[in-house]
Structure 1
Amino acid sequence: MTSKVPFYISVVLLILAGIALSLFRHQSYGVPWTPGETRQVWDIEARIEFNAQGTPVKASLAAPHTQNGFTLVGESSSSPGYGVSYVNTESGRRAEWSIRHALGAQTIYYKAQFLVDPQAKVEAIPPSGDIVKPTFDGPTEAAVAALIAVANQRSADDVTFARELVKAINDNESQNASLILNNMSKVEAIDKLLAYAQVPGKIVGVIELEDGRRRQTIQHMNQVWNGSKWVLFNPESAQQVIAENILVWDESNISLLDLMGGQNSQVHFSMIALEVTPQQATDDKVEADGLINFSIHSLPLEEQAMFKTIMLIPIGALIVVFLRVIIGLKTSGTFMPVLIAVAFVQTQLVTGIVGFLLIVGTGLVIRSYLSRLNLLLVARISAVIITVIMIISVFTVVAFKIGLTEGLSITFFPMIILSWTIERMSILWEEEGAKEVVLQGGGSLLTAVLVYLAMTNPYIQHLTFNFIGLQLIVLAGILLLGTYTGYRLTELRRFKPLAED
């Protein structure tokens, strides 16, 4: 007797692989488990204004990139007459505009779209080179040394050291802090204090995301390297709680805007929050990150729409296997109900049931006449196919003439399958009688309705389309059902007299 241990191991591996693929889709691509959820996208527009001097103009703006919590899914520029390009420089990404001649007031727009993405993780670039120790005058240097000594005593690492420095700088009663802030801003003071203490840090430009906010200017904050990532600090607040709506725009620590051939430049930011579907968010993220995506989302939209229905067929197959193997429901053909259910998805349920009954009923009447002619099987089936096509054509025209536009969708029925169904039912009528035809026909129609209800369920549609690993779990379930050799539920009625005794 062959051991079934390898079979059960294979089933377990299929289930584990399906769960792993689904978790990967959820964690890496941010696909939600349930439909109806929305993802937030921020449209951020930078408005650059300056006066051109009648000479060639070149403007370079620090451009953001994907970062922890935010994925850059798109960027565009509106600058009539200007050439635009996005370049990677030693100081980071920049958007550059150029024109041979410009005079007077100029306005350039740069727009970036960021997807709020908790799964977005970016490998931080560690600091490089030696830290240049700044110089101060005598009294200021003494104040710097005093603040560093206190912060060093109250800290355990570079991050807590920076936190204590921020607290000290924001202490209004500290004379040392007041002396240092006489000649510099808080963000500059903290940056120099960190450099003086040989702690790697830098100044970054951030914007605060607020729906409907207009003409916002960039803010400067400090970042400190903790050995694996950069930690952000707000120099204006002793409470080191950085809000989730803070987006780092400029990490270059050089300049937000470089302008040649113009003067009186300004950069203002406006933003608005949008809600998008999970599918749109996933498509945007895959395209933006250049991920190796083997999911359906990597296909063109036309093919995606086709596969959205195809991926539901395994669910229908699982239902058919369960109904036939466990329940014992009889159907005309093994998977004919699944294909009929697919047609119901296109025609809607009531229209589909009426059309199915009309076509099969009329086809059986015509098939009964063909049986008297004693035709060969191939010729008989071909005649039935042509008859089904004529029936569908007549019903469609009649439905259109009387104003039933729902009847136009009856053309979605699989003609070959219907033809074989009519042939099988006709033979069954001759061999087993009308009762068996009603049982198998009714079982097929009931199965098709149940499969239709499953296929049109939004949760099932969402899971099958977005998590291809679910197909492996369905396959494992079908394999397990295939090993069942016990009684079907409909067969238990044979033992009813025994139960009564």
Structure 2
Amino acid sequence: MRRWHLLALVLVLLTSAASLIAYKVRVLGYPLAPGAEIEGWIVEARLSFTPTGGAVKAELAIPSEPPGYVQLDENFVSRGYGLQTEERDGQRLALWTTRRPAGPQTLYYRTTVTGRDGQGEAQPVPALDEVPAYQEVEGEAVQAILDEVRGKSADIATFSSILVRLLASPAPDENVQLLLPPNAGREQRVRTAIRILAGARIPARMVQGVRLADGARNLRPEHWLEVNNGDDWIPLDPTSGARGYPADFFVWWRGADAPYALDNARNAELSFSVVRTLEPALEMVTRQAQLADSAVMAYSLSALPVHVQNVYRTLLLVPIGILLIVFLRNVVGIQTFGTFMPVLISLAFRETDLLSGAIMFTVIVALGLLVRFYLEHLKLLLVPRLAVVVIVVILLMLLVSMLSYRMQFDVGLSVALFPMVIMAMTIERISIVWEEHGPAEAIRQSMGSLVVAILSYLAMFHPRVDYFVFVFPEALLIVLAMALLLGRYTGYRLSELLRFRDFNAASRA
């Protein structure tokens, strides 16, 4: 096979992995490091009232696609009430009903939100009504204001902004004074701006929401103005005409009507409370991706059952250890017993701490090796001899567990999780090398296997590696590409350079 074919395959693997990881990080917002947290907000609406007799029906506008934020979940608290939600004129509503309420009543709606880029889905533009039927004097004032603003503006956005600043001026002219009472609040200014803009055939609407401040209680809704330029809804501050919502403004509902309606009730009061939270970034991003119905989430490990996730959390780390072994054997030149046996030993180290696991593994293999040398004098066949070694290894594991328990050394109880068959095969391989190549070579390969197993453990079970491979399993495509490249390596091993350094020095001389 030509070399370019391999390079092309490696390039495809690397590009695919990088693209998927970049999409998850930049578009879905997946964190690259474990333990990252994302700021979230719990916003609670409290609707209290007193029944006046008979069945009560309560309606409350609830958020839907708030710009700059995404809703992660929502909860309704209403004992003894029937509950349903519906959408009416583009606005979500929660409907509570009960037949015989007694005493003061309180209904709660709570949602958890977090910030996001973008402004959410595009809002439809409502059909504009006819120009309002202004009274004679009011109509002249409106026309005068429109003529003044039109001469200073270039488009709908600047037209609306200049109009708002004119209405909010601390020294308004007689036309503004006629339309807007002195010391008017935000709500009155928004209503007046909408009525004037209707005379210019510009769609506008009132927006009401709350400021997200940690620990804020008994908040009242804040009113804003939105105008449509034919493509987008542009938010305007009714006190300054500035465009755009503040970063801490959370849109609750749109429209000039009250956000709630009650039947057979009085003394209604609506207030809001806000609490800031810090939640695991991975959990919140996963929930956001699920809400957005991302195609990536359909094939995410998070969609699998938890017990299956736990299995793959370990299996996905095996290629990391395998790549390390390939590098250490083919490039460095470390000799081991078997190709992938050190990876299996490193998996066993996960159940203990590394030092205790290495010590116990060394002790069991050394004792098993003594038994293997004794069996050599019995002249047993290969298969029965391996069976005897496995049985002895199990007995040794049991003995170590019992002794560690008696000595109150809990780590020793995990020795039963070691791969006994792998240790039995290791003992057999050590004995064969000992007989064929001498004890020095056997000890060298044994130490090499243990060192590689320790390095594999450190590489595989580092918290950042564990997290990254589980969250971005496409990273294994990079591991695959590197293994393919190492598969074509035919240069000298580092150990060979050290081995023949005297010959190299002599040849230069």
Q: TM-score, normalised by structure 2?
A: 0.92
The alignment partner of 2:370 has SS state of helix
Q: Which residue in 2 is equivalent to 1:153?
A: 151
Change (3 A) 1:429 1:154: farther
* Partner amino acid, structure 1, of 2:501: K
1:377 to 359, 376, 382: 382
Structure 1 pair 141/9, CA: closer, same or farther in 2 (3 Å)? Answer: same
Alpha-carbon distance change, 303 to 196 in structure 1, aligned in 2, over 3 angstroms: farther
2-structure distance, mates of 1:429, 1:486: 29
Once the two structures are superposed, residues 243-302 of structure 1 have per-residue CA deviations (whole angstroms, 9 ceiling, x without a partner) of: 211111113554411212212211111111111112221232234334331111222333
Partner Cα separation in structure 2 for residue 164 and residue 110 of structure 1:
38
Contact preservation (8 Å) 1:52, 1:105: yes
SS at match of 1:54: coil
AA matched with 1:491: E
CA–CA separation in structure 2 for the residues paired with 1:378 and 1:465: 40
Q: Which consecutive aligned stretches of 4+ in structure 1 deviate over 4 angstroms post-superposition?
A: none
Q: Structure 2 counterpart of 1:363, which letter?
A: G
Question: Structure 2 CA distance, aligned partners of 1:353 and 1:242?
Answer: 60
Aligned-residue offset at 1:151: 2.9
Which of residues 301, 306, 316 in structure 2 aligns to 1:301? 306
- Distance in 1, matches of 2:67 and 2:10, equals 38
Q: How does 1:411-450 map to 2 (within 5 A)?
A: 411-450=416-455
8 Å CA contact 2:234, 2:244 repeated in 1: no
The aligned counterpart of 1:273 is: 276
| 8 Å Cα contact 1:340/1:414 also seen in 2 | yes
Equivalent position of 2:88 in the other structure: 89
Please tell me whether the aligned partners of residues 45 and 270 of structure 1 are also in contact (alpha carbons under 8 angstroms): yes
SS of the aligned residue for 2:351 comes to helix
- Matched position secondary structure for 2:18: helix
8 Å contact from structure 1 (residues 340, 413) kept in 2 = yes
Contact 1:171/1:177, CA 8 A, preserved across alignment: no
Structure 1 counterpart of 2:100: 101
Q: Is structure 2 residue 267 aligned with structure 1 residue 264? A: yes
TM-aligned CA deviation for residue 368 of structure 1:
2.0
Correspondence for 1:489: 494
**Aligned residue number for residue 408 of structure 1:** 413
Instruction: Work out whether 1:139 is the aligned partner of 2:141.
Output: no
1:355-366 correspondence to structure 2 within 5 Å: 355-366=360-371
Partner of 1:339: 344
- Stretches of structure 2 that go unaligned for 5 or more consecutive residues are none
From 276, 289, 294, give the equivalent of 2:292: 289
Q: Aligned partners of 2:310, 2:289: CA distance in 1, in Å? A: 18
Once the two structures are superposed, what CA deviation does each residue of 1:122-163 show, in whole Å capped at 9, x if it has no partner?
321221423442232233323322333333333333222222
- Does residue 186 (structure 1) correspond to residue 186 (structure 2)? The answer is no
Q: Shift of the alpha carbon at 1:227?
A: 4.2
AA at the equivalent of 2:464: Y
Q: 2:239 matched to 1:236?
A: yes
- For 1:22 and 1:430, the matched residues in 2 are separated by 51
Structure 2 counterpart of 1:171, one-letter code: S
* Count of aligned pairs: 499
How far off is 1:401 after superposition?
1.3
SS at match of 1:204: strand
With 367-376 and 387-396 compared, the bigger mean Cα shift is at 367-376
1:219 aligns with 2:187: no
Say which is worse superposed, 338-347 or 147-156, in terms of deviation: 147-156
5 Å-filtered alignment, 1:460-475, equals 460-475=465-480
Quick check: 1:126–1:225 contact (8 Å CA) kept in 2?
Answer: no
What is the CA–CA distance in structure 2 between the aligned matches of 1:339 and 1:12, rounded to whole Å?
A: 30
Change (3 A) 1:322 1:172: same
Question: What CA distance in whole angstroms lies between the structure 2 residues aligned with 1:86 and 1:414?
Answer: 56
What is the percentage of aligned positions where both structures have the same residue?
34
Task: Check conservation: 2:31, 2:282, Cα contact below 8 A.
Answer: no
For residues 339 and 478 of structure 1, the distance between their equivalents in structure 2, rounded to whole angstroms, comes to 19
Change (3 A) 1:121 1:417: farther
One of 321, 328, 337 as aligned partner of 2:333:
328
Q: Please name the residue that 1:17 is paired with.
A: 16
Distance (whole Å) between structure 2 residues aligned to residue 168 and residue 470 of structure 1: 58
Verify the 8 A CA contact 2:64 2:91 in the aligned structure 1.
no
Amino acid at match of 2:239: E
Matches of 2:230 and 2:419 in 1, distance apart?
A: 64
Question: Within the alignment, does 1:50 sit opposite 2:49 as a pair?
Answer: yes
Unaligned runs of 5+ in 1: none
1:218, 1:197 → 2: CA distance?
28
Secondary structure of 1:346's aligned partner: coil
What's the secondary structure of 2:102's corresponding residue? strand
Distance in 1 (alpha carbons) for counterparts of 2:278 and 2:164? 36
How far, CA to CA, are the matches of 2:255 and 2:388 in structure 1? 76
**Whole-angstrom distance in 1 between the partners of 2:490 and 2:233:** 62
